[in-house]
Structure 1
Amino acid sequence: MVRYEQNDSVRAAYGEKTLLQLSKALTKELGRGFSRSNLQNMRLLYLNYPICQTVSGKLSWSHYCELLSISDKKKRSFYEKEAVNAGWSVREMKRQIDSSLFERLLLSRSDANKEQVLALAEKGVDYTKPEDIIKDPYVFEFLGLPEEKPFLESDLEAALVRQIEDFLLELGRGFMLVGTQQRAL
């Protein structure tokens, strides 16, 4: 349909009114879910994933709408594979994208790491060594710790405890933090 309507070009020559008219007709005939923006996303999905088998059945439509905003194919592939492997919700995937996980992994360590990240974008996670299951680097932007300089373990612990306390306060009555460190008996 897209190829026919666009005569194999990137954009149809007759403008945006077509999507609006198509949206109204499909909504009338089939019901909700065919807004103009949804049709644009469907078109983008088709253009980026022309072979249906390349789309994972483990991610939702909302995941793919977020992924389609990424123009770099390797970067998009990385986030898609990570979302499947780690079971990210759409919100978590968006947080990882916004915190530039892909770029940070490319910048960390060395050129060998860059090759590993790009391989990860192509084939997904490959657990061959025990250290492969440990996430590196960690991102603690939600703690408000400065990213430019190293911080002490005690600073990390204090920031994490504050987050836990805030979370427990949000839950309301009946929840409390008994202590942060307990001695083993």
Structure 2
Amino acid sequence: MSAQLSSEYGSGFSVSALQYMRGFYLAYPDLLANRHALRVDFDPQTIDALVIQHAARVESGAHTHTDADGAWRAGTLHPGLSWTHYRLLVKVARPEVRNFYEIEAIRNGWSARQLERQIASLLFERLLKSRDRQGVLTLANEGQLPAHPKDAIKDPYVLEFLDLPASHRLVESQVEEALLNQLQAFLLELGGGFAFVGRQRRLTLDGDHFYPDLVFYHVKLKCYVVIDLKVGKLTHGDLGQMLLYVNYYDREVASKDDNPTIGLILCSEKNDAVARYVLADKNEQVFASRYQFVLPSVDQLRAEMQRELEHLGQTVPDEELATKPTKRRKSTGKIKGRKQ
């Protein structure tokens, strides 16, 4: 078919192009409202007329399918997504997961490369770990709409864009410097709503000075987010220090209109038992998540989720991890040094 179409109509009908066209048709059946009226022949004038008509409707927004209230819905055409976006989306097997990435790509204005990175880093699956069944449905139908602090937290955080080795010789300042040099990529990994406030912002208590690594403000949750970076295993001292930061921001920095401060410790190794006992009544405000410098595989993530949910007597069906990652692109970004 590729040879025949290329011979008759020229370029644009390679085998891979036809495979993408077929995948697009199967993944988005609602795009063609009048499928029964389509002609099966390849008359050039008919094809040109359909292409011109389709292009005009996309330009005017008339071909964008909407709900009864006029709002766009996932699974239908959106002029904010390019053909490159759709080529990535059709590789996601489950419609619910594909809808999530579609909604998030439009809401956050992701480029095709950013969408590819989010699919490859299994964003949907990482967000599942902090949600119940109803939360999973909400994620698939509405995207990531944080209503509570835990909704904005992932585990693990994937920082492959830093090009840092997973080495015990690393120190926190190296990770912090690398994150600031790649702040745009880090904001993408944190998720929508995070605004950078500053680094190493000094807190003074009776002459003693403390320096949280990074401070953000979450514009959707309307609260400060204090992040501390730890190389190595999480300790009770790390959690106690974060509790100090959170309490200070709640009492001294946040305004009356702000919600309680979120504290997030990014560590290379977690200790869940220590976190549960130290945090106690603060476990809805202070969180500890692992970070890693390589993209996780589906099998690794499934095993990690199963271990955590076994504590709750739950299991994770394999079909919930049916995202088919795109081919992972090796990062080539370099870390540039910066003077302190």
Which band: TM-score by shorter chain?
0.5 to 0.7
In structure 1, C-alpha distance between the alignment counterparts of 2:109 and 2:182, rounded to whole Å:
23
Relative contact order higher in (CA < 8 Å, ≥ 6 apart): 2
Change beyond 3 A, Cα 1:62–1:163 = closer
Query: Structure 1 residue 24 and structure 2 residue 7: aligned?
Result: yes
Question: Computing the radius of gyration over CA atoms, which structure comes out larger, 1 or 2?
Answer: 2
Q: Secondary structure at the match of 1:51?
A: helix
Match of 1:55 in 2: 77
Once the two structures are superposed, residues 26-79 of structure 1 have per-residue CA deviations (whole angstroms, 9 ceiling, x without a partner) of 32xxxx433232122112111111121312221100111111111121111111
Q: How does 1:1-185 map to 2 (within 5 A)?
A: 18-27=1-10, 32-52=11-31, 53=65, 54-106=76-128, 108-109=129-130, 111-112=131-132, 114-126=133-145, 129=147, 135-137=152-154, 138-143=157-162, 144=164, 154=173, 156-161=175-180, 166=334, 177=338, 179-180=339-340
Instruction: Give unpaired runs (5+ residues) of structure 1.
Output: 1-17, 170-176, 181-185
In structure 1, C-alpha distance between the alignment counterparts of 2:9 and 2:22, rounded to whole Å:
15
> Match of 1:34, as an amino acid?
F
Change beyond 3 A, Cα 1:61–1:163 = closer
| Between structures 1 and 2, the one with greater strand share | 2
> Match of 2:153, as an amino acid?
D
- Shift of the alpha carbon at 1:81? 1.2
Q: Secondary structure at the match of 1:71?
A: coil
Identity %: 41
Task: Supply the RMSD in Å over aligned alpha carbons.
Answer: 3.4
May I ask how many residue pairs the two structures share in their alignment?
A: 143
In structure 2, C-alpha distance between the alignment counterparts of 1:115 and 1:130, rounded to whole Å:
14
In structure 1, C-alpha distance between the alignment counterparts of 2:161 and 2:94, rounded to whole Å:
26
Instruction: Give unpaired runs (5+ residues) of structure 2.
Output: 32-64, 66-75, 184-333
> Is the 2:2–2:13 contact (alpha carbons within 8 Å) kept by the matching residues of 1?
no
> Is the 2:101–2:115 contact (alpha carbons within 8 Å) kept by the matching residues of 1?
yes
| Between structures 1 and 2, the one with greater helix share | 1
Normalised by the length of structure 1, the TM-score is 0.61
Once the two structures are superposed, residues 93-136 of structure 1 have per-residue CA deviations (whole angstroms, 9 ceiling, x without a partner) of 11111111111111x22x42x53243222233546x4859x842
